[in-house]
Homo-oligomer: A and B are copies of this chain.
């Protein structure tokens, strides 16, 4: 089954390829009668332009890539997949395609990006989980290739980004906890080369200071962003001499692990010890108990990111597109007053 090409169409209509092409692409110098003939013949013969040829000729890719950092991340994370959904929404509305790129090593990463931007396969990329100092961003900038980043690196004035005010979010959560009487609040963080992770830790520090709570390194844990890591970090803390009365986690998946550790010790979250997650995953409504969390709508983020990227590809100034949103505290069941007496 051979595909019908431009030439086939032209022959069938007794026109030239160039005329048919222009008719299809809405050029003004084609009579409306011809345009109609061409269009109906096109659907009749099932003509679909060969994208490779088209892109070779025009230079526009009609596709964007989502690239996710190599380690500690997986396409299977709810965070990621929801974002993906949002990106796809926007991109496909324009008829473009979505490519996902997930590399497993750092060199692989740079290599993949380089390949992406030089191969002509995509017209732009959205970056996720930037590092504080992100080589990928530099690479993209140097190549002058359209991109947006979900989050920010340390220096963020020169490109497009969409971020949540991480510091504020954590401060909000901590203040809530303090309001509930907590003074000993553990922090379950993520690797600090992720800027969002760094910022959240900053927020934690700031919130402590604001509330005259001394910094205590022994109750901050830096872990991978999954449930198992959250669980063992919490286990650490709960089994210590002076366990915290609350946990602030930088992700819901970690918080879910924390919850497991709490249950495993016969305690109940929200009563014996509080925990606040981060992400607002839907699944949090069904954990045991339902998870209080800082919520940021990922799918919406994805859509906005894609829209920004598309605009930039169309020529917009990237620095015009810098959006800072705030996370929202959604109260469920894992926050509660600090126990007057500790559970020990």
A18 to B53, CA, bound (A): 20
Q: A48-B115, A48-B118 are in contact. Are A102 and B85 (CB under 8 A)?
A: yes
Whether A118 contacts B287 by the Cβ 8 Å rule is no
Decide yes or no whether A50 CB sits under 8 A from chain B: yes
Decide yes or no whether A249 CB sits under 8 A from chain B: no
Give A76-112 as 1s and 0s: 1 = Cβ < 8 Å from B's Cβ atoms.
1110111011001000100001111111000000000
Interface residues on A, range: 35 or more
A50 to B121, CA, bound (A): 8
Decide yes or no whether A179 CB sits under 8 A from chain B: no
Whether A100 contacts B102 by the Cβ 8 Å rule is no
Q: A50-B119, A256-B286 are in contact. List 17 more A-B contacts (CB 8 A).
A: A48-B114, A48-B115, A48-B118, A49-B119, A50-B120, A51-B120, A52-B52, A52-B53, A53-B56, A53-B120, A75-B81, A76-B81, A98-B101, A227-B282, A227-B286, A256-B283, A288-B289
Whether B1 contacts A119 by the Cβ 8 Å rule is no
Give A114-157 as 1s and 0s: 1 = Cβ < 8 Å from B's Cβ atoms.
11001111000000000000000000001110000000000000
Decide yes or no whether A55 CB sits under 8 A from chain B: yes
Whether B78 contacts A84 by the Cβ 8 Å rule is no
